Amino acid sequence: MVPEEVVADANVILSALIGKGANKIFSEFVLRIHVAEFNAREVEEYLPKMAEKYKLPMELVQLQWRILPIIMHTPSRYTRYYKKAVKDLMERDPEDAHALALARALGLPLWSNDHHLEKMGLPVFTTAKLIRILEGRK
C-alpha cells in the first residue's frame, strides 16, 4: 500500500525539523501530511529544546517549522474518536491519542516511530518504512 496521505505525530515532525530522515519525506516526496493541532503545539513547545540539543539556530528551526507543508486539524475534526484513542493508549502514551484519533477520523494511516501504535487497528508507517515505500513509487 502506497499512501497518498498520512497523519503524523509530533516526534516525526520534530525529527524532520532537525534534518533527520523524516526530512526526506517532506523534501523529496509528494505526500499530504495531516497533523492534529495538539501535536502541532507540542512541536512548537519543543522547538527551543531541539535547537539547543542539536546546536541549530532557533530562527532556522522556526523557519523550517513555518514552511512545512502540513494540514492542521482542530480537535473538532476528531472529537468523536478521541475518548477511545485515550482509552486505547491509557497504559502507553496518552499524548499520542490526538494523532490516533485524527487518523481514525480521516481514515488514514499514521506516520510514527512509536511501535505501540501498531496494535491500534490502522496502518502505521515508521519513517524508514515510509521512505522505502515512497522510493518504490518513484
The CATH number of 5-137 is which of 3.40.50.2300, 3.40.50.1010, 3.40.47.10, 3.40.50.720? 3.40.50.1010
Beta bridge partners, 71, equal 34
Cβ-proximal residues to 50 (8 Å cutoff; 6+ apart), any chain: 14, 17, 18, 56, 61
User: Are 9 and 15 within 8 A, CB to CB?
Assistant: no
pLDDT digits (tens, 9 = 90+) for 56-88: 999 999 999 999 999 999 999 999 999 999 999
| pTM across the whole model | 0.93
pLDDT per residue over 87-110, tens digit each? 999 877 778 999 999 999 999 999
94, with CB counted inside 10 A (0-12, 13-18, 19+), is middle
